[in-house]
Amino acid sequence: MKKLKIGDIVSRSWDLAVKHWPIFVLVAVINSFASGMGVKVDPASYLEALNVSDIATQMALLSEAIQVNYIAALIGFLLSIYVAFVALNFYVNAARIGKPYESLSEVLKVDFNQLAIFFCVEVCYGLIVAIGTFLFIIPGIWLAVRLWYAPLLAATQGATFGEAIKGSWQITRGHFWELFLMGLTMIGISILGVCACFVGVFFAEVIIEFMLVVSFFILKSEDTPEDESVLDGADYVEVQ
């Protein structure tokens, strides 16, 4: 069984992020904009709500501080799913062939059947992790790690819904604590990104996404070393 070397994964992800940061920071900004569509927050009212101890009063103040246009929010959510789908393919291509995409026509060409599968996997992943977290937190963390790669499998490997769930479960078997440590490392990188002001947040997101891709190919190659479609051009994940 191969061992994930967190330092090596971070190093390789940093190199990829530095090389490709303009396109991926742009994608991250677009995704952030899409995710926030239809939601308006009054900072002063929000801070006031946080300083109130009474739950009922706090919820009333939050409802006033956060205004949601549900139609715009739904459009933003669907757009963010699309952007995430395209972005994952960009990350995999950048890591495997050295560039996010071959041509502009390739960017515009989307397999909507696979996009629908990715959408279902993303939604179910979020629900499963949320329910698991609600049940004393630990089950949520465990499920989040074991199903971590399901969306990536659905977006970039042509997996069906069942194959994405099963595939993530299979390749993460025996690697929970390594992946848990990698998750903590990602949180640390996010915090550093926040400390580095506005642009730093998005650059940190690029590093984190590359960490996901690099670690995925390391674990994938462990299960299917004979699959050239997985390993071809992916010398960056070679483990000594």
The reported pLDDT for the residue numbered 226 is 42
Phi, psi of 234 (to 5 degrees): -105, 45
Give me the average pLDDT of each 10-residue run along the chain (240 residues): 87 95 92 85 73 76 78 91 93 92 78 94 91 80 94 95 95 94 94 80 94 94 50 39
Structure tokens at 203: 């650059």
Phi, psi of 41 (to 5 degrees): -120, 130
Could you tell me the sign of the dihedral formed by the alpha carbons of 152, 157, 160, 165, in that order? Answer: negative
Residue indicated by tokens 């998750």: 183
Query: What is the reported pTM?
Result: 0.82
Nearest to 21 by CA among 13, 33, 31: 13
pLDDT in tens, 24-45: 999 999 998 888 888 887 777 7
- Between the alpha carbon of residue 202 and those of residues 69, 153, 206, 208, 228, the distances in Å are 26, 23, 6, 10, 32
Domain ranges for the chain: 6-34+84-227
> What single-letter DSSP state applies at residue 226?
T
pLDDT in tens, 165-196: 999 999 999 999 999 999 999 999 999 988 87
Burial status of residue 232 (CB atoms within 10 A of its CB: 0-12, 13-18, 19 or more): exposed
Q: In this structure, are residues 21 and 206 in contact, taking their beta carbons and an 8 Å threshold? A: yes
Residues in the chain: 240
The reported pLDDT for the residue numbered 1 is 67
Partners of 64 in the beta sheet?
Answer: none
Partners of 67 in the beta sheet?
Answer: 40
